[in-house]
Amino acid sequence: MDLKSAFANVLKSQVLSSWTEEDLLSLIETPKHVHLGDLAFPCFKLAKEYRKAPGAIAEELAGKLASPLFSKVEAAGPYVNVHFDSAAAGKEIVDSILQHDEQYGKHSFGSGKTVVLDMSSPNIAKPFSMGHLRSTVIGNGIANLAEACGYETVKINYIGDWGTQFGKLIVAFKKWGDEEKVKENPIAELFTLYKKFHEEAALHPSLEEEGRKAFKLLEDGDEEITRLWKWFKTESLEAFKTIYSLLGVEFDSYNGEAFFNDKMDEVVELLEEKQLLETSQGAKVVRMEDESLPPCLIKKTDGATLYATRDLAASLYRHREYSFDEALYVVGQEQTVHFKQVKEVLQKLGYEWARNMKHIPFGLYLKDGKKMSTRKGRVILLEEVLQEAISMAHDNIKKKNPDLKDADQVARDVGVGAVLFHDLKNDRLNDIEFSLEHMLTFEGETGPYLQYTHARAQSILRKAGVSHHSTFVGLEDKASWEVIKQLRLFPETVERAWKNYAPSILAKYLLELAKSFNSYYGNTKILNDDSKQASRLTLVYSVASVLSKGLGMLGIGAPKEM
């Protein structure tokens, strides 16, 4: 049951018949303080119609509203505040949760629609750093939210496998590389060579030209250069997949930049047909003064194509391949202008579907206040962070629960969950200062805190011999009512998190649910053999169910024991 809808229905049927339910719902608020009630209706917009002060209107309306679901209706200044009867309203809410059970929190409004997500997209031959974590886990969280709302999703890992940097890497390998070392530890060794190239190029600028020439040979299909490039790519993808496996993230496509090499001529031809290409200082561009954007560079003076050309080709391919209803680019906010340009060019070409392409920006992980950079060696390796988190979780298990079954899996769930939740609880547009200490703190507003709350609920159910929900007759205490109010927010939270492309909305909700449940647990003897025990256990079951579902949508495991 939706409390807002129940309140809106009473307002409409008893005092505001000329208003639509939608308009009423848009005004209903949740008071900041619990003692003020569960919901409030502001009367400011009625002042003109009633020709009275909002406070006087609130007094009048409060005296007319009545429902079996309400325990008290009162005026508080210009607001009509409603207190719901915790037993009656609570029973309807919990019954609704039990009725939907596995489907609770899910929606069907996305049914029959497809969302394509461009996410993660690390560069081959470079280590998977903390800098790549955000696109990966935010993208995965958004995909899970989309699926919870009924959409089909296509997750694309648009691997960075093309560009001048590979010419530089090939030069570095030929000058200083050791094939056996690369085979033993491919990513680390290739990264070392990449850094050495830039160190040497600072002293010997001619190396930059050698790198460009090597990449030109790659573009022209030179056999030896191509063999090395394919080898670097294969080794990199294998290393990346180890990390994706740890994160629990899967992809539907690994088509990277190189995949679109033979698809860019069509973009140039389309732009020429529409007479959108202009020459500027020898380069081919699409002017965008009318959109207050810099020109979109399509071909450099030497005829080489660029990121925009490739992204235009990728967009055309993806729409033909997947007929998407939305295409989301989960890429850092520094690329905002680029995606505006790509979208505008497609619209200039007459593709109306380009309106449904959206850049989902996010802030950076910073190290000592500075952006991480593989070129400068200022990088923190994600795999090392994950393994350290898992190791810390193992240590905690050995101290607190040495006989725990599936200890390895639980340590993995908890360690990885700590890293993921540390990211996802933050608004995606905010920068995050990297701190291993904060990330791996297992207390406070963390992933392990949520997982422990879930495990605690499961432990109570095991002790009671309950594996599924029972009946719910209603509970009158305030602590249980606060939990029930949180539970009823789950479906609307999932919808809001999806519509804002913000997993943080769901993460923050789960923290509030866990806090209310732990408060309830601390003030209530749940396993007290009386007429209300079945209802209390059903409430515990509902909390465990919502926590498990919510963590799953964030890509985080929910162990039953810790």
Tens of pLDDT along 252-269?
999 999 999 999 999 999
Same domain, 173 and 59: no
Crossing angle for the helix pair 223-247 and 133-148, to the nearest 10 degrees: 60
pLDDT at 302: 74
Same domain, 431 and 545: yes
Mean pLDDT of 539-551: 97
- What is the Cα–Cα distance from 181 to 186, expressed in whole angstroms? 7
Mean pLDDT of 142-155: 98
Q: Each residue of 281-319: pLDDT tens digit?
A: 889 999 999 999 999 999 888 776 788 999 999 999 999
In a domain, 409, yes or no: yes
Same domain, 135 and 178: yes
Q: Which residue has the tokens 């709302």?
A: 149
Same domain, 415 and 533: yes
- What is the Cα–Cα distance from 48 to 60, expressed in whole angstroms? 15
pLDDT at 529: 86
- CATH code of residue 205: 3.40.50.620
In a domain, 376, yes or no: no
Whether 143 shows a pLDDT value over 90: the answer reads yes
In a domain, 255, yes or no: no
Same domain, 360 and 429: no
pLDDT at 525: 94
In a domain, 95, yes or no: no
Q: How confident is the model at residue 94 (pLDDT cuts 50, 70, 90)?
A: very high
pLDDT at 213: 93
**Arithmetic mean of pLDDT over the chain:** 93
Whether 30 shows a pLDDT value over 80: the answer reads yes
Same domain, 76 and 120: no
Mean pLDDT of 483-500: 96
Q: How confident is the model at residue 412 (pLDDT cuts 50, 70, 90)?
A: very high
Residue 249 · residue 240 · CB < 8 Å = no
Same domain, 215 and 356: yes
Same domain, 132 and 12: no
Least confident of 144-148, 182-186, 284-288: 182-186
Same domain, 224 and 80: no
Residue 40 · residue 31 · CB < 8 Å = yes
Q: How confident is the model at residue 191 (pLDDT cuts 50, 70, 90)?
A: confident
pLDDT at 373: 64
Q: How confident is the model at residue 482 (pLDDT cuts 50, 70, 90)?
A: very high
Number of domains making up the chain: 3
Whether 457 shows a pLDDT value over 70: the answer reads yes
pLDDT at 375: 54
Whether 377 shows a pLDDT value over 70: the answer reads no
In a domain, 53, yes or no: yes
- CATH code of residue 57: 3.30.1360.70
In a domain, 264, yes or no: no
Mean pLDDT of 33-42: 94
Same domain, 435 and 365: no
Whether 240 shows a pLDDT value over 80: the answer reads yes
Whether 467 shows a pLDDT value over 90: the answer reads no
The string of DSSP codes covering 252-296 is SB---GGGGGGGHHHHHHHHHHTT-EEEETTEEEE--GGGT---E
As beta bridge partners, residue 326 has 115
Same domain, 367 and 397: no
- CATH code of residue 446: 1.10.730.10
**55: containing domain:** 3-84
Same domain, 11 and 124: no
Q: How confident is the model at residue 378 (pLDDT cuts 50, 70, 90)?
A: low
At residue 126, φ and ψ (nearest 5 deg) are -130, 150
Angle at 136 between CA 131 and CA 141, to 5 degrees: 135
In a domain, 280, yes or no: no
In a domain, 262, yes or no: no
Which residues lie closer than 8 Å to 484 by C-beta, 6 or more apart?
Answer: 86, 89, 90, 93, 94, 475, 539
pLDDT at 127: 83
